[in-house]
Each structure stands twice: as structure tokens, then as C-alpha cells.
């Protein structure tokens, strides 16, 4: 109980990572509603007139919240024995509520989360692995990274839904106007293209004499100036063969020089090459309105960009460093919170609902997410703007499910991630000093 009370206090002053998301759309020439698997699995729910209520919590917002609401509604319409109510919070508030509701004996029945969030709460005993066993998940249906992300300390706690990662979006017309015929695949190619696409008020580029850095009218590259810079950091470290974090780490021991290489490359996009706007707040809006010609975003941006009238394409995150093909990724998964007073009928109903979602992930794919199950690949491949991420699945790296994840990977100041990217990008601090402080701050948390 002391651990739970301590966590309540901690979570009220912290927020967990938020997957950057945007709107949802339907895949062209598809009618997902007609493709829904209408029948549910053989159920232990009593065949009576009484409806079993299932409480479902999530931290989605924007259009993927709308997509999840549609999924819940379609499940409710598919049968009349179970009614699911989706309640949405910020991710941080949801976990605070999980802790307090568990203490009070009234947690929800199922909730969505990200893989790195599993460890801390599983270690506290707040997740029940038993219902997962009833779903008979098949390892062969998932990539190793996805499958491994459902476990903590050898126990499977989660049901995979999707994976999502960064990609490079590009405005086809603006690239053509700049004479760029090859879509960037490497870091050097990206910088070269971005400089050609960056224009000041006099029509000059960063590599030309007289370029006015204070009056840029079009940038070559946009990106999230927030915790996603550290997600890029993970990609860049892994491309150098240096996985920076692990679920069982008691000390951060990543290679300092490789970390400096990664942070320097990110910083140079803003301050050396002048191709990315300082303090950008919405790269997706800037991309759509033409303020930036390319953008490092994610699959979650596809529906929003699709709804615009620009001509665009998307490719995988560039290979910046010679070495391993690697990409940061996150995922949405479903877990079953523990309950001091379990109701077997509600557990059975919840398992049936989760199984139905797993059978109907085309609805989630339409929100821009790549379903984790390999069985969904044929559906995803109908949309080339989503299917490019299937090729990256064998090379993804998740943030680990460390027991101190909410402290290590928090996105609220003064956590290590925020301090690092603020110093690097907003203050133009020396990358070597940023790496030293970043590592020190992480290890200070780990030693407690």
C-alpha cells in the first residue's frame, strides 16, 4: 500500500508519454462497417436478459479517439449481451486513476496503454495476466518486437493492437518545383533536399550567400519539437548499433559519442543547416499549409493529411548513420486491470470484447495505425500510405517497460527527456554537455 500511495503522489505531478496522433479516415474504396466480423467468440457470458457492463479506459484524443469510439459502438451493435462504455482521459490521469480505483476496489475492466507503461504497474500487481491466456494469442502472428512488448518479467500482460513509428512525409509538388527527383533515403540526402526546399523572403537557400535566416518563408523540414525528438534519438542510437535503454537497466551506459552524434544531427537541422523551424508547434499543420515541404511525423498523421488537398507521399525514416536498419516505435495494447473483487462474468465479457477488437483491427487501421497482427497485412497493403510501415516492422525498437518508466521517460519538466531536448533545440546547448546531463539525470532516478 505504501508503494501505491507513493505512486499516487508521483503520478499527480507527472504525465506519461503521449503518442502523437491525429484524425481518422476510411481507406479508399473500403467500407469497414461491412467488413466487421459480426459474430463473437463462444462466450461464458450468461445467456440472460441482463446486460453485462464493461468499463473501458483509454488515453486517446483527436481523431483516433473517434475511431475507438466507433469500434466500441460497432461492438455494442454486434450483440445485445454486453455493453462497453469507453471513458477517455489524458494518459497520465488514466494511470493515476488506475492506482486510486484499484485501492478502492473499482478499477475498469480493460484499458489501453503503450508497451513501456506495462512494467511499473505490472510490478505493483495492477494488471491481471490470466484473461490474456484465454485469448490464445499466437506468437507467429506478430513480429518479435510486438510480441516481446506484451511481456514483463516473463509474464504476458497485454494484447497487441498496433505499431506506429516515424516516417518522412513530402509535398510532391514542392519537391518537383525544387528539381528534386529522388526521395531522401539517407541523412545526407535529407539535408541536401531540405536545403533546396528552404527559401527566405528573397528566394535564397541556406547554402547561398546572403541567405536571411531571420526571414524564412518556407522550411525544408518540419518535426515535433517535443518528446518525439528523443524518440528520434532512440532511432539514431539504434542505427549506430547502440540500444540506449533496457527494461532491466540499473544504470544508463549508452555510448556517449554515439549519443553526441545523434543529438548533433538533430540540432544541426535547426542551427547549422537552417532547414527546420525553431520551436515548431504543429508540423502536420505546417506541412498541410506548405510552410514546410517535408515533415518527420508518423502513421497517425496519415488520416489528417489525407483530408487535405495537397499532393503528398511518405517514406520510411531515413538511414542517417551507416549501420543497422532501425526505427523507434510505440504501440497500443490492451490490458486487464486487477480487481480485488473479481466478477467472472465481467471478465468473460471483457475477454469477448477484446477478442472482437483483435478480429476487427481494420477499423483501427483506418485511423492510421498499422495493426500488429500479420493477418491484417493484406488489408493494410490496400493503402500504400500506411503499408510502407509494414516493411519496417522487423526493425522496430520500443521504449522498454522499465519499473521506473514514468520517471525515466516522462514528458513533463523537469524530467530528463524534457531537459535534454529543451537544452538541445531551444537553447542550442553543446551536445556533449546535453548528453552528460541527460545521462546523469537518468542515472539519478535509477539509483534511488
277, part of any domain: yes
> CB-based burial of residue 413 (10 Å sphere; 0-12 exposed, 13-18 middle, 19+ buried)?
exposed
Contacts of 344 (CB under 8 A, 6+ apart): 44
**251 and 381 fall within a common domain:** no
Residue 94 belongs to some domain of the structure: yes
Give the chain's domain count: 2
* φ and ψ of 370, to 5 deg: -90, 110
Give how far Cα 427 sits from Cα of 130, 264, 279, Å: 49, 13, 10
Nearest to 258 by CA among 270, 242, 271: 242
Q: How far apart are CA 409 and CA 113, in angstroms?
A: 14
Shared domain for 298 and 411, answered yes or no, is yes
CA 119 remoteness from chain centre? 17
Q: How far apart are CA 24 and CA 222, in angstroms?
A: 21
- pLDDT per residue over 255-299, tens digit each? 999 999 999 999 999 999 999 999 999 999 999 999 999 999 998
Provide the pLDDT for residue 13: 37
How far is the C-alpha of 390 from the C-alpha of 387, rounded, in Å?
Answer: 5
Residues 322 and 334 in one domain: no
**pLDDT at site 17:** 38
| E runs forming strands in 43-180 | 52-58, 82-88, 110-113, 151-152, 155-156, 158-171
What is the domain extent for residue 70? 17-164+330-391
Residues 205 and 150 in one domain: no
Q: Which three cell numbers, joined as nine digits, stand for 402? A: 522499465
pLDDT for 48: 60
Quick one: which of 428, 299, 427 has its CA closest to 27?
Answer: 299
Per-residue model confidence (pLDDT) at position 36: 58
Rg (CA), the chain: 22
pLDDT the model gives residue 92: 82
Which runs of consecutive H residues, i.e. helices, occur in 79-211?
Answer: 91-104, 118-123, 130-134, 144-148, 172-177, 187-197
Alpha-carbon span 288 to 274, nearest angstrom: 20
Secondary structure of 304-320 in HEC code, one letter for each residue? HHHCCCCCEEEEECCEC
Note whether residue 344 is domain-resident.
yes
26 and 157 together in one domain: yes
Cell numbers describing residue 290: 506548405
Report pLDDT for 19: 37
Distance (Å, whole) CA 206 – CA 353? 55
6 belongs to a structural domain: no
pLDDT computed for residue 37 by the predictor: 58
Asked if 269 and 353 sit in the same domain, the reply is: no
- 120/194 same-domain check: no
Tell me, yes or no, whether 178 and 316 share the same domain.
yes
Q: Rounded to whole angstroms, how far apart are CA atoms 165 and 152? A: 22
pLDDT of residue 23: 34
Asked if residue 353 belongs to a domain, the reply is yes
Distance from the first to the final alpha carbon of the chain: 19
Do 266 and 345 lie in a common domain?
no
Show Cβ contacts of residue 48 under 8 Å, excluding neighbours closer than 6 positions. none
Give a yes or no: residue 68 inside a domain.
yes
pTM: 0.86
Nearest to 326, CA basis, from 387, 246, 241, 231: 241
Residues sharing a CB contact under 8 Å with residue 125, sequence separation 6 or more, in sequence order? 338
pLDDT of residue 141: 93
Shared domain for 170 and 133, answered yes or no, is no
- Yes or no: say if 230 and 310 are a contact pair by the CB < 8 Å rule: no
**Nearest alpha carbon to residue 374 among 58, 133, 145:** 145
Angstrom distance (rounded) from CA 155 to CA 335: 12
In a domain, 12, yes or no: no
297 and 221 in a single domain? The answer is yes
Instruction: Tell me if 11 is assigned to some domain.
Output: no
Residue 45 has what pLDDT?
A: 59
Taking CA atoms, 361 is separated from 70, 163, 175, 370, in Å, by: 12, 12, 34, 9
Does residue 370 share a domain with residue 286? no
Residues of the chain with pLDDT under 70: 1-48, 62-63
Residue 248: give its domain's CATH number: 3.40.190.10
Among 347, 364, 391, identify where a domain stops.
391
Cell of 371: 495493426
176 alpha-carbon distance from chain centroid: 31
Distance CA 8, CA 93 (A): 10
Amino acid at each position: 500500500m505504501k508503494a501505491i500511495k507513493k505512486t499516487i503522489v508521483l503520478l499527480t505531478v507527472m504525465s506519461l508519454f503521449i503518442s502523437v496522433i491525429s484524425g481518422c479516415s476510411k481507406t479508399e474504396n473500403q467500407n469497414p462497417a461491412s467488413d466487421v466480423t459480426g459474430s463473437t467468440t463462444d462466450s461464458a457470458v450468461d445467456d440472460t436478459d441482463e446486460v453485462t457492463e464493461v468499463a473501458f479506459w483509454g488515453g486517446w484524443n483527436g481523431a483516433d479517439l473517434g475511431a475507438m469510439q466507433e469500434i466500441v459502438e460497432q461492438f455494442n451493435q454486434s450483440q445485445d449481451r454486453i455493453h462497453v462504455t469507453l471513458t477517455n482521459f489524458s494518459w497520465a490521469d488514466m494511470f493515476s486513476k488506475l492506482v486510486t480505483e484499484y485501492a478502492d476496489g473499482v478499477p475498469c475492466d480493460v484499458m489501453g496503454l503503450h508497451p513501456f507503461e506495462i512494467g511499473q504497474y505490472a510490478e505493483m500487481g495492477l494488471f491481471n495476466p490470466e484473461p490474456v491466456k484465454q485469448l490464445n494469442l499466437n506468437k507467429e502472428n506478430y513480429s518479435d518486437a510486438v510480441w516481446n512488448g506484451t511481456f514483463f518479467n516473463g509474464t504476458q500482460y497485454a494484447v497487441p493492437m498496433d505499431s506506429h513509428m516515424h516516417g518522412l512525409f513530402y509535398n510532391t509538388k514542392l519537391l518537383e518545383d525544387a528539381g528534386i527527383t529522388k526521395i531522401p533515403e539517407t541523412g545526407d540526402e535529407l539535408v541536401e533536399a531540405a536545403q533546396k526546399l528552404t527559401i527566405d523572403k528573397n528566394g535564397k537557400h541556406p547554402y547561398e550567400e546572403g541567405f536571411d535566416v531571420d526571414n524564412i518563408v518556407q522550411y525544408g523540414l518540419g518535426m515535433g519539437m517535443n518528446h518525439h525528438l528523443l524518440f528520434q534519438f532512440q532511432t539514431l542510437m539504434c542505427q549506430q548499433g547502440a540500444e540506449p535503454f533496457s527494461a532491466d537497466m540499473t544504470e544508463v551506459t549508452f555510448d556517449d559519442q554515439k549519443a553526441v552524434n545523434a543529438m548533433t544531427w538533430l540540432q544541426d537541422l535547426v542551427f547549422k543547416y537552417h532547414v527546420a523551424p525553431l520551436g515548431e508547434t504543429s508540423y502536420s499543420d505546417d506541412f498541410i499549409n506548405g510552410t514546410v515541404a517535408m515533415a518527420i511525423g508518423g502513421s497517425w498523421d496519415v488520416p489528417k493529411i489525407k483530408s487535405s488537398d495537397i499532393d503528398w507521399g511518405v517514406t520510411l525514416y531515413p538511414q542517417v548513420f551507416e549501420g543497422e536498419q532501425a526505427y523507434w516505435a510505440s504501440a497500443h495494447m490492451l490490458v486487464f486491470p486487477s480487481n480485488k473483487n473479481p466478477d467472472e462474468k465481467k471478465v468473460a465479457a471483457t475477454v469477448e470484447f477484446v477478442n472482437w477488437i483483435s478480429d476487427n483491427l481494420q477499423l483501427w487501421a483506418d485511423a492510421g495505425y498499422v495493426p500488429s497482427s500479420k493477418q491484417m497485412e493484406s488489408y493494410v497493403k490496400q493503402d500504400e500510405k500506411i503499408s510502407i510501415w509494414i516493411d519496417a516492422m522487423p526493425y522496430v525498437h520500443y521504449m522498454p517497460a522499465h519499473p521506473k518508466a514514468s520517471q525515466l521517460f516522462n514528458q513533463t519538466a523537469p524530467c530528463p527527456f524534457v531537459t535534454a531536448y529543451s537544452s538541445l533545440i531551444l537553447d542550442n546547448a553543446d551536445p556533449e554537455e546535453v548528453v552528460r546531463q541527460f545521462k546523469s539525470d537518468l542515472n539519478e532516478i535509477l539509483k534511488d
